[in-house]
Amino acid sequence: MLIPALDLIDGQIVRLKQGDFDQKTVFVLDPVAKVKEYAAQGAALIHLVDLDGAKDPKARQLGLIANLVAASPCPIQTGGGIRTYEDVAELLDLGVKRVVVGSAAIKNPELGLKLLTEFGPEAITLALDVKLIDGVPMVATHGWLKVSEASVYDLLAQFSKAGLKHVLITDIAKDGMMQGPNTELYAQITERYPKLDIIASGGISSLNDLKALRAIKMKSAVLGKSLLTGAFTFPEALALWPND
């Protein structure tokens, strides 16, 4: 599945380079109109990142998210600063299909396991932001400022026991850089966990990048900056990688 993505700050669509709020590009686009456009073009899921919420959970853009969910003809996946069980419940109550949970589940695996057990694997996407250290994919937290002691494989093994299904994996070095995805990393992960819906995120800049991901049997990929900057269109992407 190809998933269009919108990053949101103060109601505006933006993109950051490697998660840096000081390297922000603002796109003068209406988020509601953009969500409707992607849905009309064939999106089966749209990925929203609430960057205000990521920076300060009290600043979560709940009103905007509610409006986007109500306006969207297709399901919404959203994340950004999800810290608690209540945060997840609140977003699901708004009609969000899947809530993306990252640092909170990594720092507190019991919470992650509880979310998967109580809300079900279809309601939760585990987000793992990866930094390669001596070739090992380690998981970063706290807005990518810290690296945990756990590798991607450690966490996937742990959460798979609770029925984990959807995993968003971002190579920090690639995010927002438009330099191509880390296909070697994704190939290694999908080989170890072929049943998981591994969602590639970061660096996709061309249709050739999509062909490369498809060739290693990736199940899903997020398309953000590449669509917003016109590197290719969503219909062009779907022609190569139909939603299934």
Could you list the active site residues? 7, 129
Closest CA to 44 of 201, 229, 222, 180: 222
Amino acid present at 55 = K
d(CA 106, CA 140): 9
- Angle, in degrees to the nearest 10, between helices 207-215 and 183-192: 30
Tokens encoding 107: 């720092």
Rounded to whole angstroms, the Cα distance separating 46 from 64 reads 14
CA distances from 26 to 19, 31, 230 (A): 14, 12, 15
How do strand 76-79 and strand 98-101 relate by DSSP bridges? parallel
Which segments within the chain are labelled E, that is strand?
2-9, 12-17, 20-27, 46-50, 76-79, 98-101, 124-133, 136-141, 146-151, 166-171, 197-201, 220-223
CB atoms inside a 10 Å sphere around CB 144: 17
